């Protein structure tokens, strides 16, 4: 049962059509550079009043179904991970079941899963366990991770965001989730693609993080490198800690080890967190560009997508990297949800299975320099509606005023919705929500 290469077959990504440039926010907040250089964010996506957690989940699943021409009778498990709750009792999964009604499939396992930004990963793990269990009936699993958040204070609002990811899971997948993670994994090992695990554990070629903002990811990667060097050095010193193997410093990126190792010597001066941040980020700058940066296109342009964040990073990586650099490589994924729950796991990109269903990536060596060649990047980079600060603040105020309003019919604003998107048509006196769909065309 356990050698079927279960993993991810297809993705769909949805993000808000409205956005504001972080440079505009900086002008308004009189802090030039703070959001673009400090947080390393370029833009902030913002849902219209017509979008809520149910509508963005309907949109992302509907878009996946359309693109793949998916027969929803083939789906036997559907779970939603979110921390954006309209209803404390009714699950968003049951709202998505309206998409299954037409084909008569009412037999679908799964509900909603909640733990801050970790809910999507929990749903993914539930789906993988279902695929490996005796409950599996041979059908596919569908996992949706989606969230919407805006922050009220000026200090926090540049780090909001919204987004949704749908992931189709099954056997013989092009992205095979590893059944377990070696504790000896290293993110700064010298590249040895497609090599089997050795004393270093699985060689890691790319790293995707939960990404509240880019600067935080850069710091996290630096600290992971520090931990790698500490463990390797510790073993080299014969201290017998939980290291990554004798003489492993030789297997790590030499420049990184050179820059960081002075932090981990027994006689190292104690540095504060900011100094350590700075040294580790500088030491890993090139590796970051190579192994992490390709995953941050959505994160930079949309902001924090919460449960969806990690998985939009994975999609970004796949769309930003030539296929020859992906085949046979291993991706490390770090998921985090406040509260807290977290997990680090990995997946392997299969050598030959088709990647074309993975969110529009072409099975080709077409140049990736022009990101807009890919339809979803094209949508992100050229088809969004930019708000000025006045309309941004007006939209924030509307969302606050209209939160939980009932009865309520939002003003329909097509410029805030992508083709194919579901939107909230009306909320009745009993807070029941009815949705409609913008006419669809493939992005």
How many residues belong to the site for a copy of itself (CB under 8 A)?
38
> Is 117 in the active site?
yes
Residue 112 interacting with a copy of itself (CB under 8 A): yes
Residue 290 binds a copy of itself, judged by CB under 8 A: no
Closest to 331 in 3D by CA, of 341, 316, 255, 342? 316
Give kind and range of the element (H or E) at residue 20: strand 18-21
Tokens of 404: 């939980």
- Tell me: does residue 340 bind a copy of itself (CB under 8 A): yes
Find the shortest distance in angstroms from Cβ 432 to a copy of itself: 12
Residue 93 binds to a copy of itself (criterion: CB under 8 A): yes
Q: How far is the CB of 47 from a copy of itself (least distance, A)?
A: 17
Q: How many CB atoms lie within 10 A of CB 440?
A: 14
User: Rounded distance, CA 123 to CA 143, Å?
Assistant: 6
1 sits near a copy of itself (criterion: CB under 8 A): yes
179 binds a copy of itself per the rule CB under 8 A: yes
Contacts of 223 (CB under 8 A, 6+ apart): 276, 277, 280
Distances 281 to 225, 246, 260, 263, 284 between C-alpha atoms, Å:
9, 26, 10, 13, 5
Say whether residue 52 binds a copy of itself (CB under 8 A): no
- Under rule CB under 8 A, residue 110 binds a copy of itself: yes
At its nearest, how many Å lie between a copy of itself and the CB of residue 267? 30
Residue 150 in the binding site for a copy of itself (CB under 8 A): no
Tell me, yes or no, if 83 is annotated catalytic. Answer: yes
Least separation in angstroms between CB 2 and a copy of itself: 5
159 near a copy of itself (CB under 8 A): no
Specify whether the CB–CB gap between 95 and 89 falls below 8 A: no
Residue range at the interface with a copy of itself (CB under 8 A); choices 59-67, 85-93, 351-359, 371-379 = 85-93
Which of 128, 232 has the CB closer to a copy of itself? 128
CB count in 10 Å sphere of residue 185 = 23
Sort strands 330-337 and 341-349 into parallel, antiparallel or unpaired.
Answer: antiparallel
Q: Which of 26, 83, 109, 293 is catalytic?
A: 83
How many other C-beta atoms are found inside a 10 Å radius of the C-beta of residue 101?
10
CB 73 → a copy of itself: shortest distance, Å? 17
- Which residue among 47, 117, 208, 359 is the active-site one? 117
Cα–Cα distance for residue pair 416/175, rounded to 1 Å? 33
> Does 194 participate in binding a copy of itself (rule CB under 8 A)?
no
Q: Encoding tokens for residue 189?
A: 């090992």
Distance CA(237)–CA(25), nearest Å, equals: 50
Which of 102, 133, 270, 411 binds a copy of itself (CB under 8 A)? It is: 133
Which tokens in the block code for residue 142? 């569908």
The one catalytic residue among 14, 126, 202, 210: 210
Q: Rounded to whole angstroms, how far apart are CA atoms 183 and 242?
A: 9
Q: How many CA atoms lie within 13 A of 260 on its CB side?
A: 30
Catalog residues that contact a copy of itself under the rule CB under 8 A: 1-2, 83-85, 88-91, 93-94, 109-116, 118-119, 122, 125-126, 128-130, 132-135, 179-180, 337-341
Indicate which residues carry an active-site annotation. Answer: 83, 117, 210
């Amino acid at each position: 049962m356990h050698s079927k290469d279960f993993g991810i077959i297809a993705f769909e990504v949805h993000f808000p059509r409205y956005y504001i440039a972080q440079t505009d926010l900086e002008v308004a907040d009189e802090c030039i550079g703070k959001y673009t250089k400090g947080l390393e964010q370029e833009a902030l996506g913002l849902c219209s009043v017509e979008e809520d957690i149910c509508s963005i989940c309907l949109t992302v699943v509907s878009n996946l179904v359309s693109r793949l021409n998916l027969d929803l009778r083939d789906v036997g498990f559907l779970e939603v991970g979110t921390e954006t709750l309209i209803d404390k009792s009714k699950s968003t999964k049951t709202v998505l079941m309206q998409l299954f009604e037409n084909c008569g499939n009412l037999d679908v396992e799964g509900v909603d899963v909640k733990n801050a930004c970790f809910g999507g990963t929990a749903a993914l793990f539930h789906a993988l366990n279902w695929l490996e269990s005796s409950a599996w009936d041979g059908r596919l699993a569908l996992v949706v991770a989606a969230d919407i958040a805006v922050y009220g204070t000026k200090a926090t609002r540049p780090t909001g965001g919204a987004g949704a990811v749908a992931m189709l899971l099954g056997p013989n997948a092009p992205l095979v989730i590893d059944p377990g993670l070696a504790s000896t994994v290293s993110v700064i090992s010298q590249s040895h693609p497609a090599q089997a695990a050795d004393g270093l554990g699985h060689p890691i070629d790319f790293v995707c993080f939960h990404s509240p903002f880019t600067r935080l990811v850069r710091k996290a990667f630096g600290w992971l490198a520090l931990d790698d060097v500490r463990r390797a050095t510790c073993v080299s010193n014969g201290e017998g800690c939980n290291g990554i193997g004798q003489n492993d410093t030789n297997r790590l990126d030499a420049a990184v080890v050179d820059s960081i190792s002075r932090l981990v010597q027994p006689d190292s001066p104690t540095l504060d967190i900011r100094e350590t941040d700075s040294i580790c980020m500088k030491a890993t700058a090139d590796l970051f560009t190579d192994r992490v940066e390709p995953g941050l296109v959505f994160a930079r342009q949309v902001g924090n997508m919460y449960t969806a964040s990690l998985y939009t990073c994975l999609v970004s990586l796949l769309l930003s990297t030539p296929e020859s650099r992906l085949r046979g490589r291993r991706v490390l994924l770090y998921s985090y949800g406040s509260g807290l729950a977290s997990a680090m796991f990995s997946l392997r990109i299969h050598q030959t299975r088709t990647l074309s269903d993975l969110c529009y990536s072409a099975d080709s060596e077409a140049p990736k320099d022009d990101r807009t060649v890919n339809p979803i990047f094209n949508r992100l980079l050229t088809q969004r509606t930019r708000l000025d600060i006045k309309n941004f603040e007006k939209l924030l105020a509307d969302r606050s005023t209209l939160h939980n309003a009932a009865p309520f019919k939002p003003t329909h604003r097509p410029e805030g919705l992508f083709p194919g998107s579901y939107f909230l048509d009306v909320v009745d006196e009993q807070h029941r929500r009815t949705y409609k769909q913008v006419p669809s065309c493939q992005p």
